[in-house]
């Protein structure tokens, strides 16, 4: 049964942030819909050394189609440079 929370509660935003992180971690959102590449897979390739969008596709053994995922992948690659790649990309607004 879903828990009800009060947004007036100071801890509500932390609760929501935790729930979003759990959801993202459990279901691994798709980054590239055309090739069914999810955020976990992208992070795995980045962690293995992929430094460009092309390198992610090459590591995955596929080619880009529509290109709508490029900006998101670039952001993930930029975040992965010198950062912990296991951290979720999605963050709650502060």
33 binds ligand FES (CB under 6 A): yes
Could you tell me how many residues of this chain bind ligand FES (CB under 6 A)? 10
Q: Which of 20, 24, 29, 34 binds ligand FES (CB under 6 A)?
A: 34
What is each CA distance from 2 to 5, 19, 55, 74, 85, in whole angstroms? 9, 12, 41, 35, 30
The DSSP letter of residue 2 is P
Q: Which of 14, 58, 65, 74 binds ligand FES (CB under 6 A)?
A: 65
Integer Cα distance of 63 and 58 in angstroms: 7
**DSSP H or E run through 31:** strand 30-32
Q: CB of 53: closest distance to ligand FES in angstroms?
A: 9
Footprint of ligand FES on residues 3-22 (CB under 6 A)? Answer: none
64 binds ligand FES (CB under 6 A): yes
Integer Cα distance of 82 and 64 in angstroms: 26
**Identity of the residue, 20 or 62, whose beta carbon is nearer to ligand FES in the bound complex:** 62
């Amino acid at each position: 049964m879903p828990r009800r929370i009060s947004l007036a509660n100071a801890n509500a935003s932390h609760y929501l942030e935790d729930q979003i992180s759990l959801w993202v971690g459990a279901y691994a959102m798709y980054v590239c819909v055309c090739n069914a590449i999810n955020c976990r897979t992208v992070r795995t390739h980045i962690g293995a050394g992929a430094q460009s969008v092309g390198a992610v596709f090459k590591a995955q053994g596929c080619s880009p189609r529509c290109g709508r995922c490029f900006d998101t992948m670039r952001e993930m690659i930029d975040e992965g440079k010198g950062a912990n790649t296991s951290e979720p990309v999605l963050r709650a607004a502060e």
